Copies of this chain bind each other. A is one copy, B any other.
Amino acid sequence: MYNNKQCFDKAKKIIMIKYPANVFNVLKSMLGKRLEGGNPMYKLAIIGDGYTAAELLRLLAYHRQLKAVKILSVDFVGKRIDQVYPQLLGFSDLVCEPSRLDDIKDSCDAAFLALPHGFSVPIVKQLLEWGIKCVDLGADFRLKDPEIYTEYYQLEHGEPELLEKAVYGIPELYREQIKKTDLIANPGCYPTSAIIPLAPLLENGLIDDNIIIDSKSGVTGAGREPKASSHFCEVNEGISPYGTGVHRHGPEIMQELNLAAGKKLDITFTPHLLPINRGILSTVYARLKPGITGEMARTCLEDKYASEPFVNILADGVMPSTKWVYGSNMVDIGLYADEDNRRLILGSVLDNLTKGASGQAIQNMNLLLGLEETMGLQIPGLHP
């Protein structure tokens, strides 16, 4: 058979002589994937071994320019990751390694941290010192106010100065800041589903301060550790609210929506556990300001997200199902307005492991590293 690497090297030589650098870069980007692992631009570490780590590896299998070269684990040290997550059989030959940071110091350009809260703080500090860019999928850098962090996570934040550096990683809202930093606080799944539809409406002053967010999530959101609350028989064939009034994603939602509105809002957030693996639906109840029509709200969202590759504003009369975004990086948003009582209802869906976690993390990583934002993420949902 032909030898890709040789082809590429030859082509590169010619092109470099004859053409300006930007043409070469285009070619290099084009050629990346086909060179079967030979030439991805960036080497990545994944620190953590839970569901979001597995989802990173699933998505990186499609990515031409990012390659996971290390996975640091606690529970599975010495095991191949495709033994732990057999869906990866044939797609990754990584072996889980002990969580020694030194091992990635020189081998990685950037890192995903997929860890329980509290763990990322010292790790990020070290990695940044070594010049390794970080996307933290956990909660440690999302809340700007360390006191609220302490209140909700029962931990003192060891490096509060990093909170300023960290950018809250919703590219649709903070794209330019993301490109300039080296630390991303990858948002929570519930917050992403609520903030994307609400932020533009609040920024533009179209809705009242009083907002109710009734969210429903699949079980992957609770992680892979076996618990009574994720036991099949306790979840299957039922639904219930949980964490009413105290869920840790509450303050994160409030922080971002207050920022968008420029004032303190009156927000109620209630999560529910659903008998599905993946998917979040946030049903949002807002009140249109006097004089604001449903059409104006729709136009506001359509304008904001017209050129966004990962946000669909659905046609009038259509509310989304979480199934439409199963495994994809999309957010689908439906609107219903009852102008008689100025009620605005938004239905916002995403896959909590993809746009709600690992997909958005890769989107952020693409931006951090100067790659095309959609690279590796242009995949439809798996339905039916």
Residues on A facing B (Cβ under 8 Å): 2, 4, 7-8, 10-11, 14-15, 18-19, 22-23, 26-27, 29-31, 33-35, 51, 54, 57-58, 61-62, 85-91, 212, 214, 216, 219-220, 224, 226-228, 230-242, 244-245, 266, 268, 270, 272, 274-279, 281, 283, 285, 309, 312, 319-328, 330, 332, 334, 336, 338, 341, 343, 345, 347, 349, 353, 378-384
Further contacts, 15 of them, CB under 8 A, given A214-B285, A241-B347: A7-B27, A11-B11, A14-B14, A31-B31, A87-B328, A87-B380, A214-B283, A224-B228, A224-B231, A230-B231, A232-B236, A237-B326, A238-B326, A242-B319, A268-B338
Q: How many copies, total?
A: 4
Most B CB atoms within 10 A — which of A242, A349, A380?
A380
Tell me the bound Cα distance from A317 to B248 in angstroms: 17
Q: Assuming A86-B332, A233-B219, is B384 touching A274 (CB within 8 A)?
A: no
Q: Considering only CB atoms, which chain B residue lies closest to A274 in the complex?
A: B239
Partner of A240, one of B54, B232, B319, B328: B319
Tell me the bound Cα distance from A231 to B384 in angstroms: 11
Task: Tell me which residues across on chain B come within 8 A of A237, comparing CB atoms.
Answer: 236-237, 276-279, 322-323, 326
The answer on a CB contact under 8 Å between B242 and A268 is: no
The answer on a CB contact under 8 Å between A336 and B275 is: no
Partner of A87, one of B14, B281, B323, B341: B323
A262 CB, nearest partner CB in chain B, Å: 19
Tell me the bound Cα distance from A90 to B88 in angstroms: 27
Task: Tell me which residues across on chain B come within 8 A of A338, comparing CB atoms.
Answer: 245, 268
29 contacting pairs across A/B (C-beta < 8 A): A2-B22, A11-B23, A14-B14, A27-B31, A30-B33, A51-B233, A58-B381, A87-B325, A87-B383, A89-B330, A90-B312, A90-B330, A214-B214, A224-B231, A224-B233, A226-B228, A226-B230, A231-B232, A232-B236, A238-B279, A238-B322, A238-B326, A239-B322, A241-B319, A244-B336, A270-B345, A272-B281, A327-B327, A379-B379
